[in-house]
């Protein structure tokens, strides 16, 4: 049985004028224990919205339209945010958010922020026992436990704060971790150390299954076994890293890969290839392929015929001309 399943998930935001913005439109995937699944796509394609759906966390104006999310076979949909925070987050699904190191409460020491997280899940847990557990865990994952735990967030570097966020969010040994652009607000050197830490936690068995989200494909290539490319609320290509990176079949993936390869070291003289145009308005009904307007190889029927995702060359792809 897959450890994590998303089944035909549709999510929308309700605007003040009661318009629906269909931010996620029919995403499905399943993950086996031990898998690292990468999701890539440009800003606004629905990655973070999908993450909220994957946690079963619906805070207005975000609402589930339809679909299912299951952790170890059990649905996590249809719960109140309170229920999700108590019974899903941290234990079933832990989330490493974007730029979280700036949101650590500045008036509390790292050990108290961490202890609060444990106490909120374990009624009546003894504070000094919790501190002892924290020391063990921080030491086990290679952090200078005594120094870091007794520091206020402001006393730590941005990279160290993000490492603390990661340590805290995985304290309860979650079945599943979702990292949503965990390094996007950090400088390149710090990014590397944070990525290294995440994979160190995987190696140490603190957690084993992860969704890793980024708009930087070069990153995914080295971290994920399987990759999904997302565009305008849908997966347009899903395959092994090998398939998606070295033999992309969807024109959008190909465009992203073009942008990525030119950004590799040694090719700095080449400008990243920007993809002309903008994604469709997700508040309006969309007919035809969502990428057609920007697609360099679109044909007349692409704008009128909606594309289902289908298998081509061993991977899933949402394009009529992927052969």
Ligand X SMILES: Nc1ncnc2c1ncn2[C@@H]1O[C@H](COP(=O)(O)OP(=O)(O)OP(=O)(O)O)[C@@H](O)[C@H]1O
For the bound state, the minimum distance from the C-beta of residue 263 to ligand X, rounded and expressed in Å, comes to 17
The set of residues, in sequence order, having a beta carbon less than 8 Å from that of 286 and lying 6+ positions away, is 232, 280, 306
Which chain residues interact with Mg ion by CB under 5 A? Answer: 47-48
Q: Is 216 in the site for ligand X (CB under 6 A)?
A: no
Candidates 19, 33, 61, 267; binder of ligand X (CB under 6 A) is 61
The answer to whether 9 contacts ligand X (rule: CB under 6 A) is: no
Q: Which two tokens stand for residue 1?
A: 């049985």
Q: SS3 letters for 5-49?
A: EEEEEEEEEECCCCCEEEEEEEEEEEECCCCEEEEECCCCCCHHH
HEC per residue, 179-190: EECCCCCCCHHH
Does residue 215 touch ligand X according to CB under 6 A?
yes
46 binds, options ligand X, Mg ion, none, Cβ within 5 to 8 A by partner type: ligand X
* CB 36 within 8 Å of CB 210: yes
What is the rounded distance in angstroms from the CA atom of residue 191 to the CA atom of residue 188? 5
Phi, psi of 295 (to 5 degrees): -80, 130
Tokens representing residue 155 in the block: 């006393």
Whose Cβ is closer to Mg ion: residue 48's or residue 175's? Answer: 48
Q: Nearer Cβ to ligand X, position 215 or 250?
A: 215
Q: What does the per-residue mask of binding to ligand X show for 106-135, with x meaning CB under 6 A? A: ------------------------------
d(CA 122, CA 140): 22
| Of the candidate residues 43, 107, 123, 269, the single one contacting ligand X (CB under 6 A) | 43
Given candidates 45, 134, 195, 211, which one binds ligand X under the rule CB under 6 A? 45
d(CA 149, CA 147): 6
Q: Which of 44, 97, 218, 258 binds ligand X (CB under 6 A)?
A: 44
Residue from 3, 6, 9, 21 binding ligand X (CB under 6 A): 21
Q: Closest Cα partner for 92 from 7, 170, 14, 13?
A: 170
Does 142 engage in binding with ligand X (CB under 6 A)? no
9 within 8 A of 67, measured Cβ to Cβ = yes
Q: Which residues contact 130 (CB under 8 A, 6 or more apart)?
A: 114, 115, 118, 119
47 binds ligand X (CB under 6 A): yes
Minimum CB distance to ligand X smaller for 215 or for 249? 215
Q: Per rule CB under 6 A, is residue 48 in the interface with ligand X?
A: yes
Looking at the Cβ atoms of 99 and 225, the one nearer to Mg ion is: 99
Interface with ligand X, residue 22, by CB under 6 A: no
Q: Compute the least distance from the CB of residue 197 to ligand X, in Å.
A: 22
Which pair of structure tokens corresponds to residue 130? Answer: 């919790």
Say whether residue 282 binds ligand X (CB under 6 A).
yes
Rounded least distance, CB 40 to ligand X, Å: 10
Q: What is the contact surface with ligand X in residues (CB under 6 A)?
A: 13, 21, 23, 41, 43-49, 61, 215, 282
């Amino acid at each position: 049985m897959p450890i994590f399943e998303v089944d035909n998930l549709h999510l929308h935001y309700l605007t003040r004028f009661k318009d629906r913005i269909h931010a996620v439109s029919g995403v499905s995937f399943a993950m086996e224990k031990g898998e690292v699944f990468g999701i890539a796509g440009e800003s606004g394609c629905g990655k973070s919205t999908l993450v909220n759906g994957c946690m079963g966390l619906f805070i207005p104006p975000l609402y589930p339209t339809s679909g299912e999310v299951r952790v170890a076979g059990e649905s996590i949909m249809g719960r109140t945010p309170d229920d999700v925070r108590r019974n899903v987050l941290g234990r079933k699904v832990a989330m490493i958010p974007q730029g979280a190191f700036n949101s650590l409460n500045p008036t509390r020491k790292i050990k108290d922020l961490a202890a609060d997280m444990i106490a909120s899940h374990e009624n009546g847990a003894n504070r000094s026992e919790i501190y002892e557990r924290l020391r063990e865990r921080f030491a086990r994952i290679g952090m200078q436990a005594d120094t870091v735990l007794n520091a206020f967030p402001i006393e730590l570097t941005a990279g160290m704060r993000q490492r603390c966020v990661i340590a805290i969010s995985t304290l309860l040994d979650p079945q599943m971790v979702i990292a949503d652009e965990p390094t996007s607000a950090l400088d390149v050197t710090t990014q590397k150390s944070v990525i290294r830490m995440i994979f160190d936690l995987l190696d140490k068995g603190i957690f084993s299954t992860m969704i890793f989200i980024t708009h930087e494909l070069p990153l995914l290539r080295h971290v994920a076994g399987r990759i999904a490319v997302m565009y305008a609320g849908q997966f347009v290509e899903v395959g092994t890293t090998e398939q998606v990176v070295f033999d992309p079949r969807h024109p959008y993936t190909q465009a992203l890969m073009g942008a990525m390869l030119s950004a590799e070291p040694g090719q700095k003289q080449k400008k990243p290839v920007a993809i002309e145009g903008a994604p469709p308005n997700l508040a309006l009904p969309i007919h035809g392929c969502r990428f057609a307007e920007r697609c360099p190889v679109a044909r007349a029927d692409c704008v009128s015929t909606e594309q289902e995702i289908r298998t081509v060359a061993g991977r899933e792809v949402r394009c009529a001309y992927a052969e």
